[in-house]
Structure 1
Amino acid sequence: MNPSTQAALYGPWQPAQPAQPARGGRPVVVVLAALLWAVTALSVSLIGGLACIALLWTAAAGEPAAGLVLPLLLIPAGAAGITALARAPRVRALTASTRMLLLGAVACPVPTALAVWLWALTG
């Protein structure tokens, strides 16, 4: 390429600037968000495991399982609500760590309370 064309298209040559290190989130916010999401994931897995056991016992008894399956459809509905909240413009403007803390705080209470109630109920 002709040097004058290079200068006309891209300006004068300059050495590349060193990359800036990625700014991490505040450690306390990151740890709290991770704890909230860990509790949420454990709660949903406990609910799912108990639901699988109940569905297996219901199928083994030869009874219809519609009464057990319908409440489980609330889990994808809740996930869709959390996803819709995550796509809101004001939430997307937050930093990643703050966004995850907010979404974890919204997602955590219902499955955790249900898991504790089921754990107490089943012994």
Structure 2
Amino acid sequence: MMEMIYTETAPKAIGPYSQAMKVNDFLFLSGQIPVNPVTNEVVEHDIIQQTNQVMKNIKAILESEGLTLENIIKTTIFIKDMSQFPIINEEYSKYFNEHKPARSTVEVSALPKNVLIEIEAIAYMGQ
């Protein structure tokens, strides 16, 4: 069973995709970029602010399905500059405490809307 997920509390998709797809006990979140869902604009060009906005967007999608960050089992982080990895890591870690999802981090040459970071996630909805 598959279901497209949409919430007003996260940025609208900027292309032909959904914010997330629910498949059985899993929620697959599309890559989130640092767009404020209220203004629909990219937040300031600063890696700390952009990382935090992305995490807020992920959290909003999860919450729309009654989930928390604790349900995330895997993330993939796409960044434009690997030298910013320590800063990103510090901000990212503030959201996970003892829960440590599996993760990959990849440096890319460009991201949508010229942002500095994009994060996608997979969450488990079962007990």
Same fold (TM over 0.5): no
Q: Which has the higher strand share?
A: 2
If asked which structure has higher relative contact order (CA below 8 Å, sep 6+), I would say 1
Q: Which has the higher helix share?
A: 1
Rg larger in structure: 1
If the TM-score is normalised by the length of the shorter chain, which range does it land in?
under 0.3
- TM-score, normalised relative to structure 1: 0.26
- TM-score, normalised relative to structure 2: 0.25
